């Protein structure tokens, strides 16, 4: 990499750091206060409010499906067609397993799982059959070299190849029809918004439209400039509002990607935009198709042949989100199986010692700023409870019942949130969900911390990185909410299943410190 490339890459990294560092300062305007979107934008957002399928998830499921079907066909062919007197049972069964897995791997190498190949399956049939044949030969060769010299290709293997090839052809044709239908209906697409208008946006849209098998759906354009410099319709797409309205639109419309159509020279304007937009759980790309500067190849992602500079990535996406969901369900069920006697005892104690319901339900901010209803064991006197959380619980708070004080100190009051995890609006590990109107000294958290809502780019959690680092209990100073947000953002940027497991393991030990838990 030459000096120019180093300097260019440094500029991108510096831009990212500036955006993230901005979250530590005082907020001048909360993103949600920008508020309302116009009637046209709301109509478009409502039309796009249904979720779409991730191509990566669908293709991953397809790989698994083809492996299992080839395996079943191989075992079935072996059972019905193999000659038991001449076959080497374990070696031939090993071929079935190895060749099924190798076929999927070879088709991946041959680009047979790319969206264009899936939409037009007949063009990729030679690659698919070639992958299947090579996988069978290589698997047999590996076993032969491993020492199984009695190995021989029987008629059943030829029969398996014929049956398997016919299956792959029929299955790919049916999947291709389904893929094209999903594309027409908008079920499997990446929804994108163009940020910035005028000629740069028009050039970008034309470049994207020229790409064959493009899975990007442009949902509209947002720009602050007037109609003289930014027309209300660009390349057939309407301008739906200003940058201030984009955050709300992106949340309502379940946008996947924001593409900034501004020149790299406008760094200050880009930085101003990013400080508003990075709170969203989306990919943020900077269009680079018309730039004369060229960066290292790994700095780019592409839509067809259109290069994009990767500024921000959506956290915990695709198969990572599946792995995290499996993690949540598994450990929540285990926790409920172990802790149900504690929960029953807590419910009886709450009901027996004070009037009112066993559970307390509070509205809190969830993923992408959605409002969720979080369960807790009631710890306050019913007539004194504060669903809004405007008044934080303090030490020796008279609103808290004697039983409630113990439940809060031990965090037993949080155990019903395992049901929120199973429902899907909470994760086991993540930034703790704060009440919608939570505040410190009459100031909302979003007014204290710039980029506060960036902590909602992932599902909130029952426990989190901030909590195991001692940040529990009352938030009575600006510094405390700034620290919690900083820890939450660190977790989001550095997430892994190992980190979740570490936080989950350390949580019971950190709960022994009840100094700030009232």
- Domains of the chain, first to last: 3-51+189-314 (3.40.50.20), 55-185 (no CATH), 319-510 (no CATH)
- 201-215, 320-334, 362-376, 423-437: least confident range: 201-215
pLDDT at residue 154, as a whole number: 61
Highest mean pLDDT among 111-120, 438-447, 455-464: 455-464
Give 175's contacts (C-beta < 8 A, 6+ positions apart): 62, 118, 121
- Of the pLDDT bands very low, low, confident and very high (cuts 50, 70, 90), residue 12 is low
The answer to whether residue 333 scores a pLDDT higher than 80 is yes
The answer to whether residue 192 scores a pLDDT higher than 50 is yes
- Rounded Cα gap, residues 229 and 240, in angstroms: 15
Geometric angle at alpha carbon 406, from 417 and 336, rounded to 5°: 30
- Of the pLDDT bands very low, low, confident and very high (cuts 50, 70, 90), residue 327 is very high
- Rounded Cα gap, residues 399 and 383, in angstroms: 9
- Of the pLDDT bands very low, low, confident and very high (cuts 50, 70, 90), residue 417 is very high
Token pair, residue 205, equals 């849209």
The answer to pTM > 0.85 is no
- Of the pLDDT bands very low, low, confident and very high (cuts 50, 70, 90), residue 46 is confident
pLDDT at residue 331, as a whole number: 95
- Of the pLDDT bands very low, low, confident and very high (cuts 50, 70, 90), residue 427 is very high
State the average pLDDT over residues 6-21.
57
How many CB atoms neighbour CB 443 within 10 A? 13
Q: Are strands 443-444 and 306-312 parallel, antiparallel or unpaired?
A: unpaired
pLDDT at residue 86, as a whole number: 55
Query: Is the model more confident about 227 or about 236?
Result: 236
pLDDT at residue 516, as a whole number: 60
- Rounded Cα gap, residues 60 and 148, in angstroms: 33
- Of the pLDDT bands very low, low, confident and very high (cuts 50, 70, 90), residue 83 is low
pLDDT at residue 255, as a whole number: 87
The answer to whether residue 341 scores a pLDDT higher than 80 is yes
Q: What SS3 string covers 242-299? A: CHHHHHHHHHHHCCCEEEECCCCCCHHHHHHHHHHHCCCCCEEEEECCCCCCCCCHHH
- Of the pLDDT bands very low, low, confident and very high (cuts 50, 70, 90), residue 119 is confident
State the average pLDDT over residues 280-290.
82
In tens, the pLDDT along 121-174 reads 888 889 999 999 898 888 777 766 765 544 445 667 788 889 999 999 999 999
143 close to 95: Cβ distance less than 8 angstroms: yes
pLDDT > 70: what percent of the chain? Answer: 84
pLDDT > 90: what percent of the chain? Answer: 28
State the average pLDDT over residues 275-287.
87
3-state secondary structure of 473: coil
Phi, psi of 476 (to 5 degrees): -110, 5
Give 118's contacts (C-beta < 8 A, 6+ positions apart): 59, 62, 172, 175, 176, 179
pLDDT at residue 349, as a whole number: 94
Average of per-residue pLDDT values in the chain: 82
């Amino acid at each position: 990499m030459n000096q120019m490339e180093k300097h260019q890459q440094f500029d991108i990294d510096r831009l990212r750091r500036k955006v993230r560092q901005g979250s530590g300062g005082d907020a001048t305007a909360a993103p949600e206060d920008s508020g309302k979107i116009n009637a046209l934008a709301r109509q478009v957002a409502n039309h796009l409010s249904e979720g779409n399928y991730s191509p990566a998830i669908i293709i991953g499921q397809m790989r698994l499906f083809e492996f299992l079907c080839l395996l079943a066909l191989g075992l079935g062919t072996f059972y019905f067609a193999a000659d038991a007197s001449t076959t080497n049972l374990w070696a031939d069964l090993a071929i079935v397993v190895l060749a099924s897995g190798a076929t999927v791997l070879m088709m991946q190498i041959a680009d047979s799982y790319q969206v264009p190949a899936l939409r037009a399956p007949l063009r990729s049939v030679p690659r698919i059959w070639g992958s299947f044949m090579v996988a069978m030969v290589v698997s047999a060769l590996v076993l032969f070299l491993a020492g199984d010299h009695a190995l021989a290709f029987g008629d059943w293997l030829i029969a398996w190849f014929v049956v398997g090839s016919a299956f792959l052809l029929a299955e790919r044709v049916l999947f291709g029809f389904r893929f094209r239908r999903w594309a027409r209906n908008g079920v499997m697409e990446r929804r994108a918004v163009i940020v910035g208008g005028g000629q740069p946006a028009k050039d970008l849209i034309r470049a994207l439209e020229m790409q064959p098998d493009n899975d990007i759906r442009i949902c509209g354009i947002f720009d602050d400039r007037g109609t003289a410099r930014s027309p209300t319709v660009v390349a057939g797409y309407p301008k739906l509002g200003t940058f201030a309205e984009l955050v709300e639109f992106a949340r309502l419309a379940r946008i996947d990607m924001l593409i900034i159509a501004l020149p790299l020279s406008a760094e200050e304007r880009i930085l101003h935009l990013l400080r508003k937009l990075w709170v969203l759980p989306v990919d943020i790309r900077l269009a680079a198709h018309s730039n004369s500067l060229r960066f290292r190849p790994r700095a780019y992602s592409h839509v067809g042949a259109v290069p994009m500079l990767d500024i921000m990535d959506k956290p915990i996406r695709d198969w990572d989100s599946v792995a995290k969901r499996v993690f949540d369900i598994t450990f929540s069920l285990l926790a409920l199986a172990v802790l149900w006697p504690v929960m029953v005892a807590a419910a009886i104690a709450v009901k027996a010692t004070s009037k009112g319901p066993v559970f307390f339900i509070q509205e809190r901010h969830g993923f992408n700023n959605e409002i969720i209803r979080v369960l807790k064991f009631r710890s306050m006197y019913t007539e004194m409870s504060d669903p809004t959380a405007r008044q934080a619980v303090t030490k020796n708070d008279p609103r808290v019942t004697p039983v409630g004080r113990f439940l809060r100190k031990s965090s037993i009051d949080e155990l019903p949130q395992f049901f929120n995890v199973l429902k899907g609006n909470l994760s086991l590990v993540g930034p703790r969900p704060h009440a919608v109107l939570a505040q410190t000294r009459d100031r909302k958290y979003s007014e204290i911390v710039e980029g506060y809502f960036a902590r909602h780019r992932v599902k909130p959690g029952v426990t989190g990185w901030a909590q195991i680092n001692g940040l529990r209990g009352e938030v009575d100073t600006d510094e405390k909410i700034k620290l919690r947000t900083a820890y939450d953002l660190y977790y989001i940027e550095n997430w892994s299943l190992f980190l979740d497991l570490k936080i989950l393991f350390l949580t019971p030990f950190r709960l022994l410190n009840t100094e700030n838990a009232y």
